Chain A
Amino acid sequence: MAGEIDLSNTESFEKALAGTKGPVVIDLTEVHYIDSAGMSVLFAHAERVEVVATSLLTPLLEMSGLTSMATVRGVDR
């Protein structure tokens, strides 16, 4: 994935994720922004996703508590 996830595209993000089954690895390393709407999509699928994100997003993911429900892997670029 690349770009920014916000209210305007959460719906398509949700649809895209809903179309998958089983564990999913979501690569957010090219995503520069995600808001709480986007996060809620991740929370909805927390038990089966593994999120890969840069330090730009990790603070938010940690703070929101996603790291305790899903696997979050930080990468340095």
Chain B
Amino acid sequence: MGRSDDSGSREDRPGLTDVFAEGGEIGPDLAAVDWAATPLGPPDGWPQSLQTAVSILLSSRFSMWMAWGPELTFFCNDAYRLNTLARKYPWALGRPAEQVWAEIWDDIGPRVDTVLTTGRATWDEALLLFVERSGYSEESYHTFSYSPLRDESGAVAGMLCVVSEETERVIGERRMATLRDLGSDPSVAREEQEVLSYACAQLDGNQRDLPFTLTYLFDDGHARLACATGTMAEHPAAPPLIPLADESLWPVAAARRGESSVVDLEGITGLPGGAWERPPTSALVVPLQRPGGVPHGFLVAGLNRHRPLDDGYRGFVELVAGHLAAGVAGARDFRAQQRRAEELAELDRAKTAFFSNISHEFRTPLTLIMGPVQDLRDRLSQGDPQAGQELEVIHRNGLRLGKLVNTLLDFSRLEAGRMQAVFQPVDLAAATAELASVFRSAVERAGLDFEIDCPPLPRPVHVDLGLWEKVVLNLLSNALKFTIDGSVRVSVREAGGKAVVTVADTGVGVAPNEISRLFERFHRIEHTWSRSQEGSGIGLALVQELVHLHGGTIRADSTVDEGTTFTVELPFGTEHLPAGTLSQETGLTAVSDISTPYVQEALRWLPDASAAAEDLLPGTAAATAPEVPATVLVADDNADMREYLTRLLLRAGYDVRAVNDGVAALESARAHPPDLVVSDVMMPRMDGLSLVTALRADQRTMAVPVLLLSARAGQEASGEGLRAGADDYLVKPFAAADLLARVRANVDLARLRGRHARWRDALIDSLQEAFFVCDEDGAVVEVNAAFTEILGYGPEGLPYAVPHPWWPDERTDAEARRQFAEALEAKAGRDQRGRTLPVTHRDGRRVWISALMNPARDPDTGRTVTVGTFRDATAEHHVRRRETALAEMSMRLSRATSAADALTGALEQLQALWRIEQVLAVVFGRDSAPRVSGADLGWADLPGPQRDILAALTEHSALMPVFTGDGSIAVTVEHPDGPMVLLLRLDPGHQFTEQDELLLSLLAGHLTQGLARARQIDQQRETALALQRAILGPSHLPGGFAVRYEPAARPLEVGGDWYDTFALPDGRIGIVVGDCVGRGLSAAAVMGQLRSACRALLLQEIGPARALMALDQFAAGVPGALCTTVFCGVLDPDTGHLVYSSAGHPPAILALVDGTTELLEGGRSIPLAVKLDVLRTEAECVLPPRSTLLTYTDGLVERRSSSLNEGIDKAAHAVQEGRVNGLEDLAGQIMAALAPSGGYDDDVALLLYRHPAPLEVTFPAEPGELQSARGKLRTWLRQCGFSTGHAQRVLVAVGEASANAIEHAYRDAARQAVQLRLETVGDSDLHVTVVDTGTWKTPNSPPDASRGRGTTIMHTMMDEVAILPDPTGTTVTMQVKIPHDATDPDHHHRPAGQARPQGGG
């Protein structure tokens, strides 16, 4: 059956007449559309549902469009116009949606169909659509939801699309991923080709933005193709070599000048399209920049023809080129570095040989230097202080050099056994005390106590004075170097027959495992505090050698943090000394020149020893000055070196900060990151390598370049420095020009690198997505601007340790916290779908984010970090929430069976949705006092101020939420009875956001529609009930009939199907069952007319066929009556003779007492009014006794999944099965047996007749009436098929009961009535009831043979007799089995379906 399409009538709504009023700028354009030319017609004729939908659309700030009506006429709001429609505005307004989005209709059409046919909303995330809105086929991504819009009848009349365009995000993410891939090259430094191959493999992975690329490097007069992506390798446009002068393909010259250019690709055929079907129309050629030089080469990037070459796209390609350039530069640098390291190693080997072989050659020139310097000092120090200071430096370092040379010579002599020692008898105590005293000033300036305890020894000791001097000075120098505070003590004693000299300090001490190695040559104890890291590590080794030369021993006793004591024991006498080395000359105890360098050196370790560097600054500026001011941090423990470097760099125009160890350098760099750090490798507290590591580990100083200086040459040492992360490595001694060149290069490189970093930062900051980096512990160490915007937490608070402050509070929001923690656990896998998580904004707001987190390797540190992006999915979350809430509201409203019911349901939902205590709805009826719902309050119970607020709100425009100032929010809704104000008392702990306002507005819109619909239902119901009373089947059925009626459209109780049965004047009975097309009220109206007409026609006794032919004429004039099917019959209840005719109606079913069924298929023709003048026929049959006739409409038997015949068979079976049951029971059983699982979806009418009808006879209680009653009884029994003999038994029994009633029951009240009722039950039972209202005569008491005999006769004739006397009357019930052979064999019915043509027309 068809569907009714009764859109509701529109009611006048003053608040909504100007439907476009909310539209902002778009309003006038919408108003200008010629709506009359659209299927929707002029706006003043629009149904209220459409008006509400448009009003919701226009008042929303979210991007939306909607379509309504048969052509899906297009509407949109301002946001959509701006975000998506572009050039299609205002052309699109009022056009069929299929025209507006013709180019993507293949994609969205099926989704629209789904919504319209199923009524279920769709959801698509970031769907790729090629739209034609900017003059070309544009790649765009949209996240959108289509939801159904319903009209007043509840049918889907249109659809609403809430959309957010995500093109920027999707493309931004894609480009970011490519840049991230480019930057994640796992190798530190490699060959140029390897670097490029890796990079190009990454570029090949993004053929949407880079359909193809070519990378050319300038090389030996040509541009050489280094790599190609996008299957360009063999293409004519990608020759392996291009002469620099050849401009025919690509703008080589411009690239060499460092300029980018866009190249039109028209004319180049066969280019690959990458991810797209068609090849690029243009390419961007970008140079691979080299700072301060001709570019390394250029990148040709084929451009995505579906995107404009905007700043973002250009920036992306330039960043890619920047990465390639950096990669090429890195590879070339690395190659150069390697070469340099090899050269340095070679040099170092030469230097070592040189030193070891010819160190002694230094002595002559040194002497020649020191002598004149000494002279110059004496002469110039007075007149020229600056010259004096510089000479002082020369002098000091000359002394130090001399000392080093001497020490080296001592060793080579010792090793060669050429040490010419001369042992003299010496007063060791005095000589030692004398030597120690030269250190006094240095020790005391260091703030240490100095104790010399050297009482005279009983005997002299044979020593070589020069060598002993070195022993003592080295030990003292060592003590001073490693003692922070406390004292240094020198003592000489005799013990155990030996002279014992001890040098004890309260210094840092030495760990026990290191003590044995103290005297190892060149062994240095690491990580120990000392005043200076200067020193060759040969001092103590030399001491030991020298002591052994004297036949003595030396040992060290030390405790960490307490001090160290060196004990030297020398034997007395000469037996232990080689002969020929002894001199009996008593040694002089005067201190030689040897001590001077030791003391000078020690003094230089002390803090206040250096003069201010500025004082030393000569005014000459070097050509190596940086272009812009740069700050260099110098770290060296050697004051001279520190000053030298400072002076050099100041002179070159740098700002210089100087510190004397790694710790100080780190602090200074962290406080104010310099442009470059120049650091010595060997420094106390923290050496240069540790400094580099520490700098690299800190976000603030990670990018600061470091130039390491070291005396250690060789590949191993330089490699160690570079591995630690140093940017450059310079071996001492170095030329000033070399140093300055390196400094300049590193500062410039850092600037360049900084530019990339700034690019990266700018790019990351420009991402619409939030971006962050977590370290290994999960602490967030980097964020971008979007991050701050979404969460409120900025870079100033970094790092954000776990738990991050935006995590949902564990106490107040445990569920959200759990979701969050789970997502953080599962942060692996690049392709993992983003999860939507709740987080808390800094201002306390709940924000929903969709986050993606991936592990990544930090190329700087090699650590695994987590890089994450997320976007604000709050709107999306709210869209989903909105969909759910709207769906629930729709469901509640559609279930509602009255306006009051609808309102109650809606209030419940609002209350649950916002967890609020109270929702009030007040209807300001036009003619009545305000009516309150949602609380057990009357209008008069509300506080006065609240009443005033509510009353004032009725003037407010509908559907716009308003805060009332007392913590409530109100919205005005058009109730059918007048304006209604909803007042929601909000929970103060719950923020009512704009999203909530929007949702409230939408829900209110739904409610408006729902109330109007429910009101219509109310009205329909009233109409229907009236109608039902007027037209539904007869209230009184003739005997023998049972009926059922089930309308499909709830809650209506009428539909297009009907049954009718009524007595004709001649005593026959008219039977009609009909079925109008359609359902609901409109079909019922048609049905009512047909039913009346059919009854009137049959009452004319013209027979069923002619009645139907007349009905054809009638139906032709009734809209909606066409194709009605009717079964029309006339039954003689006495004989069971049935004449019938069918207008396209399913056949009646006759169930016989023998268990068979027949279909009454005769007299059939087409449905009503299909063709006028059709000659209808009728058929006749006789209903056999106790047979059951079923007539019905096709709703009973028609199922989509099976044929009509199956349904009819099933119905026949049901009638047959139930033929033994009472008629009413049978009717219920048939309805139940044939009901589909979800209930009937079509109107069903059903009419049952069992022949004969039960007999009911009422006659006056007079003997003269008995005979006539017997006549009726006899007839009926014959109809039931009783043989004469069996009928006689029943007649006698009933006669006795009746006679009893007449004779004895009415002694005091004559002329009362006796009622007889006889009916067959099931196959073979006869039930008889005889009722009077008198007193039954008790059998045989007093004895009365005749009456007693009557009762006996009843018992004899019947199987069961029950006599129920009662003060008000007596009921006799009797029952007898109808024997199988009781049926009159002569009595049979005429077969069904014999057609008998009727004249007519």
Contact of A60 among B1284, B1292, B1302 (CB under 8 A): B1292
Known: A35-B1292, A64-B1353. A6 touches B1346 (CB 8 A): no
Residues of B within 8 A of A40 (CB): 1345-1346, 1349
Residues of A within 8 A of B1299 (CB): 6-7, 35-37
Closest to B1346 in A: A40
B1263 touches A33 (CB 8 A): no
Chain B at the A interface: SS class:
helix
Q: How would residues 27 to 48 of chain A score, 1 for a CB under 8 Å from any chain B CB and 0 otherwise?
A: 0000001011101100100000
Residues of B within 8 A of A68 (CB): none
Q: How far is the CA of A36 from the CA of B1357 in the complex (A)?
A: 13
Q: How far is the CA of A7 from the CA of B1262 in the complex (A)?
A: 9
Q: Does B1218 contact A (CB under 8 A)?
A: no
Task: With both chains docked as a complex, state the minimum distance between the C-beta of B1158 and any C-beta of chain A, in angstroms.
Answer: 35
Closest to B1267 in A: A4
Task: With both chains docked as a complex, state the minimum distance between the C-beta of B1382 and any C-beta of chain A, in angstroms.
Answer: 15
Task: With both chains docked as a complex, state the minimum distance between the C-beta of A33 and any C-beta of chain B, in angstroms.
Answer: 6
Residues of B within 8 A of A59 (CB): 1285, 1288-1289
B1285 touches A56 (CB 8 A): yes
Known: A6-B1267, A7-B1302, A56-B1284. A63 touches B1353 (CB 8 A): yes
Interface centre among A6, A36, A37, A63 (most CB of B within 10 A): A36
Q: How far is the CA of A36 from the CA of B1291 in the complex (A)?
A: 12
Residues of B within 8 A of A63 (CB): 1353, 1356
Q: Does B1264 contact A (CB under 8 A)?
A: yes
The A1-55 residues at the B interface (CB cut-off 8 A) are 4, 6-8, 33, 35-37, 39-40, 43, 55
The B1323-1351 residues at the A interface (CB cut-off 8 A) are 1345-1347, 1349-1350
Contact of B1349 among A6, A56, A64 (CB under 8 A): A64
Q: Does B307 contact A (CB under 8 A)?
A: no
A interface residues, how many (CB within 8 angstroms): 17
Q: How far is the CA of A55 from the CA of B1285 in the complex (A)?
A: 8
Residues of A within 8 A of B1303 (CB): 7, 37
Known: A4-B1270, A39-B1346, A40-B1346. A60 touches B1353 (CB 8 A): yes
Residues of B within 8 A of A37 (CB): 1299, 1303, 1346, 1350
Residues of A within 8 A of B887 (CB): none
Task: With both chains docked as a complex, state the minimum distance between the C-beta of A49 and any C-beta of chain B, in angstroms.
Answer: 16
- Count class of interface residues, chain B: 20 to 34
Known: A55-B1285, A56-B1285. A39 touches B1266 (CB 8 A): no
Q: Does B858 contact A (CB under 8 A)?
A: no
Residues of B within 8 A of A4 (CB): 1267, 1270
Contact of A56 among B1266, B1270, B1288, B1347 (CB under 8 A): B1288
Residues of A within 8 A of B1356 (CB): 63
Task: With both chains docked as a complex, state the minimum distance between the C-beta of A75 and any C-beta of chain B, in angstroms.
Answer: 15
Residues of B within 8 A of A35 (CB): 1292, 1295-1296, 1299, 1350
The B1259-1301 residues at the A interface (CB cut-off 8 A) are 1262-1264, 1266-1267, 1270, 1284-1285, 1288-1289, 1291-1292, 1295-1296, 1299
Q: How far is the CA of A39 from the CA of B1356 in the complex (A)?
A: 15
Closest to B1296 in A: A36
Q: How far is the CA of A37 from the CA of B1351 in the complex (A)?
A: 12
Closest to A9 in B: B1263
A6 touches B1291 (CB 8 A): no
Q: How far is the CA of A51 from the CA of B1291 in the complex (A)?
A: 21
Q: How far is the CA of A26 from the CA of B1345 in the complex (A)?
A: 21
Q: How far is the CA of A35 from the CA of B1302 in the complex (A)?
A: 13
Known: A6-B1263, A7-B1302, A55-B1285. A36 touches B1270 (CB 8 A): no
Closest to B1291 in A: A33
Q: How would residues 657 to 692 of chain B score, 1 for a CB under 8 Å from any chain A CB and 0 otherwise?
A: 000000000000000000000000000000000000
The B901-920 residues at the A interface (CB cut-off 8 A) are none
Residues of B within 8 A of A7 (CB): 1263, 1266, 1299, 1302-1303
Residues of A within 8 A of B1267 (CB): 4, 6, 8
Task: With both chains docked as a complex, state the minimum distance between the C-beta of B1346 and any C-beta of chain A, in angstroms.
Answer: 3
Q: How far is the CA of A36 from the CA of B1349 in the complex (A)?
A: 6
Closest to A56 in B: B1288
Task: With both chains docked as a complex, state the minimum distance between the C-beta of A18 and any C-beta of chain B, in angstroms.
Answer: 16
Q: How far is the CA of A33 from the CA of B1294 in the complex (A)?
A: 12
Q: How far is the CA of A56 from the CA of B1287 in the complex (A)?
A: 10
Task: With both chains docked as a complex, state the minimum distance between the C-beta of A27 and any C-beta of chain B, in angstroms.
Answer: 18
Closest to A3 in B: B1267
A33 touches B1270 (CB 8 A): yes
Task: With both chains docked as a complex, state the minimum distance between the C-beta of B18 and any C-beta of chain A, in angstroms.
Answer: 89
Task: With both chains docked as a complex, state the minimum distance between the C-beta of B1298 and any C-beta of chain A, in angstroms.
Answer: 9
B1353 touches A36 (CB 8 A): yes
Q: How far is the CA of A72 from the CA of B1344 in the complex (A)?
A: 23
Task: With both chains docked as a complex, state the minimum distance between the C-beta of B1300 and any C-beta of chain A, in angstroms.
Answer: 9
Residues of A within 8 A of B1292 (CB): 33, 35, 60
B1285 touches A33 (CB 8 A): no
Task: With both chains docked as a complex, state the minimum distance between the C-beta of B1293 and any C-beta of chain A, in angstroms.
Answer: 10
Residues of A within 8 A of B1263 (CB): 6-8
Known: A33-B1291, A37-B1346. A8 touches B1285 (CB 8 A): no
Residues of A within 8 A of B1352 (CB): 64
Task: With both chains docked as a complex, state the minimum distance between the C-beta of B1283 and any C-beta of chain A, in angstroms.
Answer: 11
Residues of A within 8 A of B1284 (CB): 56
Residues of A within 8 A of B1295 (CB): 6, 33, 35
Closest to A32 in B: B1288
B1349 touches A39 (CB 8 A): yes
Q: How far is the CA of A40 from the CA of B1352 in the complex (A)?
A: 13
Residues of A within 8 A of B1291 (CB): 33
Residues of A within 8 A of B1349 (CB): 36, 39-40, 64
Known: A6-B1295, A56-B1284. A36 touches B1350 (CB 8 A): yes
Task: With both chains docked as a complex, state the minimum distance between the C-beta of B230 and any C-beta of chain A, in angstroms.
Answer: 113
Interface centre among A35, A43, A56 (most CB of B within 10 A): A35
The B894-950 residues at the A interface (CB cut-off 8 A) are none
Residues of A within 8 A of B1266 (CB): 6-8
Q: How far is the CA of A7 from the CA of B1300 in the complex (A)?
A: 10
Closest to B1354 in A: A36
A36 touches B1346 (CB 8 A): yes
Interface centre among A7, A8, A37 (most CB of B within 10 A): A7
Q: How far is the CA of A37 from the CA of B1303 in the complex (A)?
A: 10
Closest to B1351 in A: A36
Q: How far is the CA of A63 from the CA of B1354 in the complex (A)?
A: 11
Q: How far is the CA of A36 from the CA of B1348 in the complex (A)?
A: 9
Closest to A39 in B: B1349
Residues of B within 8 A of A56 (CB): 1284-1285, 1288
Q: How far is the CA of A40 from the CA of B1346 in the complex (A)?
A: 5
Closest to B1287 in A: A56
Q: How far is the CA of A28 from the CA of B499 in the complex (A)?
A: 179
Residues of A within 8 A of B1296 (CB): 35-36
Residues of B within 8 A of A8 (CB): 1262-1264, 1266-1267
Q: How far is the CA of A60 from the CA of B1295 in the complex (A)?
A: 13
Known: A7-B1303, A35-B1296. A43 touches B1345 (CB 8 A): yes
Q: A43-B1345, A56-B1288, A59-B1285 are in contact. List 12 more A-B contacts (CB 8 A).
A: A6-B1263, A6-B1295, A6-B1299, A8-B1264, A8-B1267, A35-B1295, A35-B1296, A35-B1350, A36-B1350, A37-B1299, A43-B1346, A60-B1288
Between-chain CB contacts (< 8 Å), 13 pairs: A4-B1270, A7-B1263, A8-B1262, A8-B1263, A8-B1266, A8-B1267, A33-B1270, A36-B1349, A40-B1349, A56-B1284, A59-B1288, A60-B1288, A63-B1356
Listed in ascending order, the chain A residues whose CB lies under 8 Å from chain B are 4, 6-8, 33, 35-37, 39-40, 43, 55-56, 59-60, 63-64
Listed in ascending order, the chain B residues whose CB lies under 8 Å from chain A are 1262-1264, 1266-1267, 1270, 1284-1285, 1288-1289, 1291-1292, 1295-1296, 1299, 1302-1303, 1345-1347, 1349-1350, 1352-1353, 1356
Closest 5 CB pairs of A and B: A40-B1346, A8-B1263, A7-B1263, A36-B1350, A36-B1349
